[in-house]
């Protein structure tokens, strides 16, 4: 049910980059043909990588488990189509670290043959824990780019008193229209997914938040939600980073998520629209997460569009399908221009969290050589987290990590608003990412050192105890011997 009168709250700062969505916002989703080779990284989510359960040379069917989760925060990976595993090894994958990750390479047999799937039960007859397990088994992760395993979030009801589910349809990243299209074309499925989530979490209501620049999506979702009074639809202001989970929550409730905590502390869980769609598919059709919608656009793409593509499809396959490149792109990205990752090569595959492939031209990047900070305070004014980016950057640059942390480095969400407005074109976020990594590393090292110290101390203690025991044993034996001697001498006497 669409709502008007719901009070919206302002969030601090933010920017209004050019939306650049015109090239694709009216392009319906089409199926991308199955590529010959698929590369499926085993780490497509936050947490530990999945562990392969197939061997090289094995033939697999579509939907078959390729790798199972390891640990609590992890997600399984399935075969996007049928074919043969031709290798399991490290590959340059789209991952923030830029380091190679374990990847399964699958050669499609062209048959796209499904594995036998489980029988479908009505999710509303299922226990929440069962549903969460199905979601976990389907390998669903946050599809908005955060890629946090969804089942973990669905299980939060066990630990927190939850009130509300917020569905994130803001899509505040420029260029991307994949969520917009999905909402317009699959509104009923999304609403069904949301109802399943409401049931699983045990919350009273769900609010779907969509940025006001997507009237088509607001309309379609409102129509689909009309019969369900517990589901509300609301248009939120067009402002980057509206799609940040914590900021969207603040817009809708006026409450800030406490630092270092989860929105669940406010009784709220946030899921992306595409995640709702994936949950619908997993529960109603017993289909694991095998594909996603990807917007392919940017000044260097001949024919931009929206595609439903298998996870693991190489970027080059998309580009070919879009009529190739009009010029050599200055930057190739996976995701949006604000928070997306640069791609090492067009061989890299798309993963579960990839909403877009962007081939940007020099003109779109608006690159300039960085110059010294003029303390213009633009970055301070736009930071949605109330930080002092200029101070954080200058400390990080000087190698003073603690100083940067003191200014709130670990509260930074890397949204890029500060870099976006900096007239001196200082790569602020780059400094922050570097400093965050270094700081985490340092803390880990420190932790390790303490651990080693503890181990050494424990060992020393153990040794000491052993020695003590030896000494005691020796003393005892001596005493015994003496006793014996005494007895002998007494006896001989």
Partner 1 sequence: MKSINPVGGPFTHDRVSVGKTMSLVMLALLPATFFGFYLYGWPAIFLFSVTVLAALLAEAGSLYIAGKPVRPFLLDGSAILTGWLLAMTLPPWAPWWIGVVGAFLAIIVGKHVFGGIGQNLFNPAMVARVALLISFPLEMTLWISPQPLMATGSPGFFESLLITFSNSFHIDSVSSASVLSHIKTELSRDIPLEQTLDSTYGLIPSVLGITAGSMGETSSIFILAGGLFLLMKRIISWHIPFSMIMTIAVISTLFNWYDPSRYAGASIHLFSGASMLGAFFIATDLVTSPVTRLGQIIFGIGCGLLVYTIRTWAAYPEGMGFAVLLMNAVTPLIDHYIRPRIYGRDGKGKPVQYPENIGAEK
Interacting residues with ligand SF4 between 172 and 201 (CB under 6 A): none
Q: How far apart are CA 362 and CA 177, in angstroms?
A: 22
Q: Which of 120, 226, 367, 473 binds partner 1 (CB under 8 A)?
A: 367
Question: Which H or E run includes 19?
Answer: none
Contact 63, 117 (CB under 8 A): yes
Region binding partner 1 by CB under 8 A among candidate stretches 192-200, 208-216, 251-259, 276-284: 251-259
Strand partners, 51: 68
Contact 166, 248 (CB under 8 A): yes
Q: How far apart are CA 45 and CA 58, in angstroms?
A: 25
Instruction: Note whether 426 binds ligand SF4 by CB under 6 A.
Output: yes
Q: Which of 106, 146, 310, 415 binds ligand SF4 (CB under 6 A)?
A: 415
Q: How far apart are CA 230 and CA 207, in angstroms?
A: 8
Q: Which is nearer to partner 1, 365 or 460 (CB)?
A: 365
Q: How far apart are CA 411 and CA 399, in angstroms?
A: 19
Contact 221, 233 (CB under 8 A): yes
Q: How far is the CB of 200 from partner 1 (least distance, A)?
A: 16
Q: What residue spans of 372-427 are helical by DSSP H?
A: 378-382, 389-397, 401-406, 417-421
Strand partners, 476: none
The C-alpha angle with vertex 240 and arms to 237 and 243, in degrees rounded to 5, equals: 80
Q: How far is the CB of 98 from ligand SF4 (least distance, A)?
A: 19
Question: What are 480's two structure tokens?
Answer: 């015994």
Instruction: Note whether 404 binds ligand SF4 by CB under 6 A.
Output: no
Q: Which is nearer to partner 1, 295 or 419 (CB)?
A: 419
219 binds, among ligand SF4, partner 1, none (CB under 5 to 8 A by kind): none
Region binding partner 1 by CB under 8 A among candidate stretches 51-59, 176-184, 255-263, 449-457: 255-263
The C-alpha angle with vertex 337 and arms to 232 and 384, in degrees rounded to 5, equals: 60
Taking CB under 6 A as the rule, which mask of x and - marks residues 450-479 in contact with ligand SF4? Answer: ------------------------------
Question: What are 204's two structure tokens?
Answer: 């009273």
Interacting residues with partner 1 between 96 and 135 (CB under 8 A): 98
Q: Which of 389, 396, 435, 436 binds ligand SF4 (CB under 6 A)?
A: 389
Q: Could you tell me how far CA 45 lies from the centroid of its own chain?
A: 5
Number of residues that bind partner 1 (CB under 8 A): 78
Please tell me whether the peptide bond between 241 and the residue prior to it is cis, using omega within 30 degrees of 0: yes
Give me the count of residues in the chain.
Answer: 493
Q: Which residue has the tokens 């608003």?
A: 417
105 binds, among partner 1, ligand SF4, none (CB under 5 to 8 A by kind): none
Q: Which of 213, 346, 427, 438 binds partner 1 (CB under 8 A)?
A: 427
First to last CA, the chain: 110
Q: Which of 99, 259, 473, 475 binds partner 1 (CB under 8 A)?
A: 259
Q: Which of 72, 129, 261, 481 binds partner 1 (CB under 8 A)?
A: 261
Q: Which of 92, 219, 414, 433 binds ligand SF4 (CB under 6 A)?
A: 414
Q: Which is nearer to ligand SF4, 162 or 426 (CB)?
A: 426
Interacting residues with partner 1 between 265 and 284 (CB under 8 A): 265-268
Mutual orientation of helices 178-185 and 273-284 as an angle, nearest 10°? Answer: 50
371 binds, among partner 1, ligand SF4, none (CB under 5 to 8 A by kind): partner 1
Region binding ligand SF4 by CB under 6 A among candidate stretches 92-100, 255-263, 382-390, 447-455: 382-390
Q: How far apart are CA 9 and CA 11, in angstroms?
A: 7
Q: Which of 377, 445, 457, 479 binds ligand SF4 (CB under 6 A)?
A: 377
430 binds, among ligand SF4, partner 1, none (CB under 5 to 8 A by kind): partner 1
Binding residues for ligand SF4, rule: CB under 6 A, are: 373-379, 382-385, 387, 389-390, 412-418, 421-424, 426, 428-429, 432
């Amino acid at each position: 049910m669409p709502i008007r009168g719901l009070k919206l709250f302002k969030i601090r700062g933010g920017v209004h980059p050019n939306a650049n969505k015109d090239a694709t916002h009216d392009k319906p989703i089409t199926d991308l043909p199955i590529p010959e080779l698929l590369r499926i990284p085993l780490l497509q989510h936050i947490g530990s990588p999945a562990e392969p359960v197939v061997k090289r040379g094995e033939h697999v069917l579509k939907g078959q488990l390729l790798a199972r989760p390891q640990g609590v925060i992890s997600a399984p990976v399935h075969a996007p189509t049928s074919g043969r595993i031709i290798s399991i090894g490290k590959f340059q994958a789209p991952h923030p670290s830029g380091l190679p990750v374990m990847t399964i390479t699958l050669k499609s047999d062209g048959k796209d043959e499904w594995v036998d799937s489980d029988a479908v039960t009505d999710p509303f007859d299922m226990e929440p824990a069962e549903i969460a397990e199905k979601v976990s088994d389907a390998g669903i992760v946050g599809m908005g780019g955060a890629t946090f395993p969804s089942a973990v979030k669905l299980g939060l009801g066990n630990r927190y008193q939850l009130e509300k589910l917020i569905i994130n349809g803001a899509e505040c990243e420029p260029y991307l229209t994949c969520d917009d299209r999905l909402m317009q074309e699959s509104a009923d499925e999304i609403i069904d997914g949301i109802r399943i989530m409401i049931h699983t979490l045990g919350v009273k209501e769900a609010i779907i938040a969509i940025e006001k620049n997507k009237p088509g999506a607001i309309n379609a979702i409102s129509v689909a939600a009309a019969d369900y009074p517990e589901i509300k639809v609301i248009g939120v202001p067009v402002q980057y980073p509206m799609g940040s989970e914590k900021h969207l929550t603040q817009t809708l409730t006026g409450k800030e998520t406490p630092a270092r905590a989860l929105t669940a502390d406010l009784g709220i869980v946030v899921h992306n629209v595409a995640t709702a769609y994936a949950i619908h598919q997993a529960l109603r059709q017993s289909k694991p997460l095998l594909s996603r919608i990807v917007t392919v656009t940017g000044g260097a793409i001949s024919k931009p569009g929206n595609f439903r593509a298998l996870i693991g499809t190489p970027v080059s396959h998309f580009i070919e399908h879009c009529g190739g490149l009009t010029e050599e792109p200055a930057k190739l990205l996976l995701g949006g221009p604000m928070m997306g990752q640069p791609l090492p090569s067009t061989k890299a595959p798309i993963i579960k969290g990839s909403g877009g492939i962007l081939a940007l031209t020099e003109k779109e990047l608006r690159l300039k050589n960085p110059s010294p900070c003029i303390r213009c305070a633009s970055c301070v004014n736009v930071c949605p987290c109330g930080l002092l980016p200029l101070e954080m950057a200058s400390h990080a640059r000087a190698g003073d990590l603690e100083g940067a942390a003191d200014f709130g480095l670990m509260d930074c969400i890397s949204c890029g608003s500060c870099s976006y407005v900096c007239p001196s074109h200082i790569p602020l976020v780059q400094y922050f990412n570097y400093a965050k990594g270094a700081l985490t590393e340092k803390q880990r090292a420190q932790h390790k050192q303490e651990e080693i110290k503890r181990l050494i101390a424990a060992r020393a203690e153990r040794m000491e105890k052993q020695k003590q025991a030896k000494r005691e044993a020796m003393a005892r034996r001596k005493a015994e011997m003496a006793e014996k001697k005494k007895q002998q001498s007494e006896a001989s006497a």
